[in-house]
Structure 1
Amino acid sequence: MNAASDRHAVVIPGGNYGPLAGLLAYAGEAAARRGAHLELISWTPPPGRPLEERLPWVREQVAPVVDGLAAPLLIGKSLGSFGAAVAAERGLPGVWLTPLLTVPACVDALRRATEPFLLVGGTADDFWDGALARELTPYVLEVAGAGHGMMVPGPLVRSAEVLGQVTTAVEAFLDDVVWR
């Protein structure tokens, strides 16, 4: 039996960023090209709830999907990085794109992780803290000047190059750490 056929990846969207948008599409494709079956979560977050209070809601969306799979990789963007709580509870690896490193509940979940995770963020993102990211994990991609959508100022090709950097980091993490 091919070990890759047992691989699963759960793609967790952001607040306004679906599971097939930019960064998540490429991160998911990186997992799929390594034989992972993708589980895409789609949602509409409840309005009016402060960001700090959304962890339980995200857990309610992610846990039932994860519970049906054998040791999946979790891939989340922004609000989806609250999925780190599920990863920590179940001992699962993660790829967290523009995680909410200024929100204590997210940081607490990352601190409880027992499996490796990759953090990706930009220095112009108000939710990013590069020093904290490097304290939490040795697997960090920090892009100078990138905002919360990992876009950088200047010609659009520079932002496309950032997408390439993120994809390369995700592929290396999957090949060298998660699915050696």
Structure 2
Amino acid sequence: MSGHRVVVDDGEPGLVLTVLPGLGYTAEGPVLARPSAALRAAGWTVRSVVWGERPDFDVARRAYADVLRDGVAAAPDAVHLVLAKSLGTLALPVAVELGLPGAWLTPLLTTDRAPEVRAASVGLGASGVPALLVGGTADALWDGALAAASGVRVLEVDGGDHSLEVDGDPGLTAATLDAVTAAVVDLAGAAVAR
């Protein structure tokens, strides 16, 4: 048993957002929930992974790959977009393989437990797939230099931690949430325009 399920909030069948949460950061967390709500309001179908138990990296890697492949198989002619946070970024290589645009929030760029995420990020711009990398300078898993060299749009939060929050600055944290939401909406527009 994988310990996960996919919750679907139906919208337009031709516009599909798949939300892949982190280990302790669910799809209800603000940096996933706000962009999802904005796209839902624009008519997108939103598919969110919900874990019943905390997965390890191998379980998450397989589950997220299956969720993406199943989503494309169920709606092969739809515009697909991935919104992934932290552990959800384990799906980055599969998304590139499938040609799926994605917003990769706090990707696992520095851990030796996810070398495929780092490798896929290096060549992300060359893939031709619209993508966004978002991370904070106070997040030990973020590599700003690698992100900048990826060739895709990067949103780097000065002082942002792994939740993209800035300690002691709620105003900047709120502004970051607005900026992430706007960037994901822009990415969705680019995905539709492809």
TM-score with structure 1 setting the length: 0.84
1:78 to 51, 68, 86: 86
CA distance in 1, matches of 2:169, 2:131: 31
| Residues in 2 aligned to 1:72 and 1:158: alpha-carbon distance in whole angstroms | 30
Moved over 6 A (4+): none
The alignment status of 1:110 with 2:132, answered yes or no, reads no
TM-score when scaled to structure 2?
A: 0.79
Tell me the SS of whatever aligns to 1:6.
Answer: strand
- Alignment RMSD, CA only? 1.9
Q: Given the alignment, which residue of 143, 151, 158 partners 2:172?
A: 158
How far residue 13 of structure 1 moved from its aligned partner, in angstroms, is 0.6
The separation in 2 between residues aligned to 1:149 and 1:96, in whole angstroms, is: 13
Q: Which residue is equivalent to 1:40?
A: 48
Q: Deviations over 1:29-75 (max 9, x none)?
A: 233233221111012333xx5xxxx2x42232123322233352111
| Structure 1: segments with no counterpart, 5+ residues | none
Unpaired segments ≥5 residues, structure 2: 1-11
Q: CA deviation at 1:94?
A: 0.8
Amino acid at match of 1:45: R
The one of 62, 65, 80 aligned to 2:64: 62
Query: CA 1:60–1:148 in structure 2 vs 1: closer, same or farther (change >3 Å)?
Result: same
Residue equivalent to 2:191: 178
Corresponding letter in the other structure for 2:35: A
- Quote how far apart the aligned CAs of 1:161 are: 1.6
1:124 corresponds to which residue?
A: 138
- Write the distance in 2 (CA, Å) between the matches of 1:17 and 1:73: 19
Q: Which has the higher strand share?
A: 2
Distance in 2 (CA, whole Å) between partners of 1:91 and 1:162 is 28
Contact 1:122 1:144 survives alignment (8 Å): yes
- Aligned-pair identity (%): 37
Q: Single out whichever of 131-140 and 11-20 deviates more from structure 2.
A: 131-140
Deviations 1:107-131 (A, max 9, x none): 1233455312100111111111111
Q: How far does residue 77 in structure 1 lie from its aligned partner after superposition?
A: 0.4
**Which residue is 1:7 aligned to?**
15
Mapped partners of 2:44, 2:172: distance in 1: 30
Instruction: Give the conservation status (yes or no) of the 8 Å contact 1:77–1:98.
Output: yes
1:168 aligned partner, one-letter code: A
Equivalent residue, structure 2, for 1:95: 103
> Aligned pairs, how many?
169
